[in-house]
Structure 1
Amino acid sequence: MNTDLALSVKKMIIESLNLEDITPEDIDTEAPLFGDGLGLDSIDALELGLALKNTFGVSISPESENVKQHFYSVASLVSFIESERQK
């Protein structure tokens, strides 16, 4: 996995959601972003979707059947960004 990209994704999450008390090191790359993991909700998902588009130039369609898989963790977001960049 691209660790530089993972760090960029973590920074994007922190900045776009104004998570002032969290550092990139606090976010486990493999941990769930929603529910028990980072505890994000559906509003956060919308914010992250917009931040992904603005930061990395990739979009996840809300209608996509894989949307929950892409947003599962930092690692899954990194995989999605890398796959979109190869198209």
Structure 2
Amino acid sequence: MDIFEGIPQDKWIEIVFNASQGLASAELIRILERLASMEILLEKRLGESWEEELNYILSSEESSEEIYRHTQNLAIESMGNILTKNE
């Protein structure tokens, strides 16, 4: 498996599916906890309208490239977390 070819998000999925169940589970739980923390933060900062704001950003063409780049960066970070623990 060449981790330097292809889209990081696709490689991340490949790594998660092929990593040991313990490593993949730990990383997915870390991601869920981070997501939950961010949702709590958004609700505290923006109130109940945070989901409307999120949906606006997700559907905005202006944000699509930034979201794509950030998604790929998060995939790279997550791959690093899994691969360094696999050594």
TM superposition score normalised by structure 2: 0.29
| Larger helix proportion of the pair | 2
| Structure of greater relative contact order (alpha carbons < 8 Å, 6+ residues apart) | 2
TM superposition score normalised by structure 1: 0.29
Structure exhibiting the larger radius of gyration computed from Cα positions: 2
